[in-house]
Amino acid sequence: TARIRGRSIAVFRFWPVQFFSDTKKGLKPGKGRLFINENVEYTFVLKKKTFDKKEKKYKKSNLAASMDQYIQSIVINPEEMITESELTAKDDEILLSVRCDYLIITHQDLVPRFQVLASHRQAMGLTAQVISIEDIYDQYTEGGSNQDKIKQCIKEYAVQKGTLWVLLGGDNTIVPDYDCFASVNSGKYTTTTIPTDLFYAGLDDMDWNDDNDGRACECNEDGDTIDLYPDVFIGRAPVRSDSEASAFVAKVMTYETGDYDPFFHEAALFMGVEVWHTYEGISDAQWRCEALWEAVHKDMEPVLSAQKYRFYDTGTDFDGDSNYIVSASHLVDQISSGYGIMLAETHGSCSSLSLEGSNYFVTGNVADCTNQTRQGIIYTTA
């Protein structure tokens, strides 16, 4: 089960396909029959939860509907969900003088820059507060790491002040990320430095290294418990200097208050080249991106009109189709069009994206782009 701001959610993993080896017919190992169950019926027996009196209950958030909508979007029985307003008693409502809808955590030297963003949020009708990382380290003493202290602060704000959004104001040198363990190729390669900020969002499990072996987020049976269900919406401004912080805040405010640009605000470029395989003329990059679009667009459609443009090695929406290859010059042209969101499914490195025909898009190509103020958000698997 999982918990999201006081609501319990049952999580099930079901595989409809079954494999039976047929040893009676003398088939070789791995040979047999494959079945798919087309109809499955579940029966659940629920019992009333007894709440621990020591359990900290969330104060009533002024913007509870936002989290309610998120929970309803991920469960199969949203009509039966208990809303935050129903869960929280009237005497748990937060006074306006105490409430903090939007929390910004940053270095003390960057507080003045992010205070501008906090004031902008207040002008939008939210309550906002900026707290320095130094004050957090001084005030929160439980746990051994700085990440533990940051998470304690966020939980206190969420529980006592109704905080729903948290912005980490700085890169990992300002506000540390949480590093996780990973193993690939049957343990041939391991690392303990996979970074994530999700640690700060799931507040019902404060420790992701239960066995204290220095390898957090182990997902085997004897490993660690991991809470990946958010109690707050977490974001990060990956800045380090005063000028970078000022630029970030200015871009956010311009994006939210500037003239509406239909193409920039609604257009998304999905780009990719074969990562490992191509099936029936369609690369794995294309079908992965298309599957992601279908999943995300379904949730966005009620509130956002969006248009996807395909730019894959096995199919595009641009003149020339397969002859319009995913090259550095073509990618420069597309970025220059000014998409609000771009996704790149490909191999690469910290300074390059792998394209068709052993070509690469490198940091030097960025200077050739002419999108000017249309600076979208780029996601990449590289």
Q: What mean pLDDT comes out for the span 63-68? A: 76
7: in domain: no
Tokens of 19: 């494999």
Picking from 102, 157, 106, 95, the residue whose alpha carbon sits closest to that of residue 125 is 102
370: in domain: yes
Q: How high is the mean pLDDT of the chain?
A: 87
Instruction: Say if residue 206 is in the same domain as residue 267.
Output: no
42: in domain: no
Looking at residue 29, its pLDDT comes to 56
Question: What end-to-end distance do the CA atoms of the chain give, in Å?
Answer: 33
Number of H helices, E strands in the chain: 9, 20
Q: What mean pLDDT comes out for the span 36-45? A: 85
Instruction: Say if residue 253 is in the same domain as residue 266.
Output: no
> What is the rounded CA–CA span in Å between residue 347 and residue 272?
9
Picking from 178, 185, 168, the residue whose alpha carbon sits closest to that of residue 209 is 178
Q: What percent of the chain has pLDDT over 70?
A: 88
* Digit-coded pLDDT (tens) for 358-382: 899 999 999 999 998 888 899 998 7
- Report which of residues 194 and 302 the model is more confident about: 194
Instruction: Say if residue 251 is in the same domain as residue 160.
Output: yes
Tokens of 350: 């910290």
Instruction: Say if residue 85 is in the same domain as residue 183.
Output: yes
Looking at residue 103, its pLDDT comes to 98
Q: How many CB atoms lie within 10 A of CB 52?
A: 7
State which residues form the domain around 253.
Answer: 58-258
Per-residue confidence at 50, pLDDT binned at 50, 70, 90?
Answer: low
Instruction: Say if residue 232 is in the same domain as residue 244.
Output: yes
CA distances from 310 to 34, 317, 326 (A): 35, 5, 11
Of 201, 224, 258, the position where a domain reaches its end is 258
Of 258, 279, 305, the position where a domain reaches its end is 258
Instruction: Say if residue 216 is in the same domain as residue 266.
Output: no
CA dihedral sign, ordered 209, 214, 216, 221? negative
3-state secondary structure of 242: helix
Of 220, 241, 258, the position where a domain reaches its end is 258
Rounded CA Rg of the chain: 24
Structurally, the chain folds into a number of domains equal to 2
pLDDT of 247 higher than 60? yes
318: in domain: yes
Q: How many CB atoms lie within 10 A of CB 49?
A: 7
> What is the rounded CA–CA span in Å between residue 106 and residue 169?
4
* Digit-coded pLDDT (tens) for 311-366: 999 999 998 877 899 999 999 999 999 999 999 999 999 899 999 988 999 999 99
CATH of the domain at 153: 3.40.50.10390
Looking at residue 94, its pLDDT comes to 65
Least confident of 64-78, 227-241, 303-317, 354-368: 64-78
18: in domain: no
Instruction: Say if residue 308 is in the same domain as residue 225.
Output: no
Q: DSSP letter for 60, please.
A: B
Least confident of 118-132, 205-219, 325-339: 205-219
> What is the rounded CA–CA span in Å between residue 135 and residue 133?
5
> What is the rounded CA–CA span in Å between residue 169 and residue 116?
12
CATH of the domain at 326: 3.40.50
Instruction: Say if residue 83 is in the same domain as residue 214.
Output: yes
Instruction: Say if residue 173 is in the same domain as residue 276.
Output: no
62 with 101: CB under 8 angstroms? yes
Q: How many CB atoms lie within 10 A of CB 78?
A: 12
Instruction: Say if residue 88 is in the same domain as residue 193.
Output: yes
Looking at residue 363, its pLDDT comes to 95
pLDDT of 93 higher than 90? no
Instruction: Say if residue 93 is in the same domain as residue 240.
Output: yes
